[in-house]
Amino acid sequence: MAIPQAKMELRSLGNTGLKVSAVGFGASPLGSVFGPVGEDDAIATVREAFRIGINFFDTSPYYGGTLSEKMLGKGLKALQVPRSDYIVATKCGRYEEGFDFSAERVRKSIDESLERLQLDYVDILHCHDIEFVSLDQIVSETIPALQKLKQEGKIRFIGITGLPLDVFTYVLDRVPPGTIDVILSYCHYGVNDSTLLDLLPYLKSKGVGVISASPLSMGLLTEQGPPEWHPASPELKSACKAAVAHCKSKGKKITKLALQYSLANKDISSVLVGMSSVSQVQENVAAVTELEGLGIDQETLSEVEAILKPVKNLTWPSGINQN
């Protein structure tokens, strides 16, 4: 595999003025949520990501019970570059001990995150997995609290994340235009589930930047397979396993194909992939470069899509009943 030398494509993130790398660094694996990752490996992975063109890093206090933020903070510090050279997103409201989107908790949360990340500000603060609480609380209490943090300079932009796509429209329809800068959707723009596609025109009309996470469906589309806690049904897991096996039998990497599928839609500003080793970073960045040069392997993609057809757009329940 050729190690990419050219800088990666940067894409505009909604109206924020930020230019994020097409592949973003998902730091949840640095919290050892997909298996143990040592501190030296975590730092080396972050350094390699930045070296070969990734400028966008995503974490949360929830990942590994704050471990991911601490590891990412160490990795970013080791870069020894100006703060403005990289973009950091973290989240609030979801913690190992549960959910708390109160104004008081999110104010405290950002201070704790900044300390763990060893930063003075984050570029984006997301409300993490809002479907687990009353969306009206997000609209009337959490977002106004984040606006104050914006005025205080602790955060530059406000985002919301969640699995069900209708949480985005619910909140965006109830806040003044320009209040929410970005949304982060996960497991909805990949080979097995591309339902985010239908929402893209609406998000564009609202001027909201779109980040899509988990192109590998949180491990379903990897040779290693999903972690124990993966919420997919046995049917979805076994179809993805068959797709992985098919690619392997052809000597192809399903991770490359799946990532390229997500990257091909330029209305998505950044595709966040979870990475825990230097070699994964190199492989994933090479996938972007190759997509630009050679395009996607259409034949294998069609075969994989045929295998996944019976489970296409199958997801899993997440959150509370909002009615």
The residues binding ligand NAD (CB under 6 A) are 26-29, 34, 58, 128-129, 161, 184, 186, 213-219, 222, 224, 255, 272-276, 280, 283-284
Whose Cβ is closer to ligand NAD: residue 35's or residue 178's?
A: 35
Sign of CA dihedral 153, 158, 161, 167: positive
Shortest reach from residue 230's CB to ligand NAD, in Å: 10
Whose Cβ is closer to ligand NAD: residue 142's or residue 284's?
A: 284
| DSSP 8-class letter at 8 | P
Distance of alpha carbon 127 from alpha carbon 187, whole angstroms: 17
Query: How many CA atoms lie within 13 Å of 316's alpha carbon, on the beta-carbon side?
Result: 13
Q: Other CB atoms closer than 10 Å to residue 230's CB: what's the count?
A: 16
Shortest reach from residue 293's CB to ligand NAD, in Å: 18
| Whole-Å CA distances, 100 to 121, 138, 306 | 21, 10, 42
202 catalytic residue (yes or no):
no
Whose Cβ is closer to ligand NAD: residue 55's or residue 161's?
A: 161
Which of 63, 86, 95, 261 is catalytic? The answer is 63
Shortest reach from residue 149's CB to ligand NAD, in Å: 18
Distance of alpha carbon 318 from alpha carbon 112, whole angstroms: 27
Residue number, nearest CB to ligand NAD: 274
Whose Cβ is closer to ligand NAD: residue 153's or residue 223's?
A: 223
Shortest reach from residue 276's CB to ligand NAD, in Å: 5
Distance of alpha carbon 297 from alpha carbon 289, whole angstroms: 14
Residues with a known catalytic role:
63
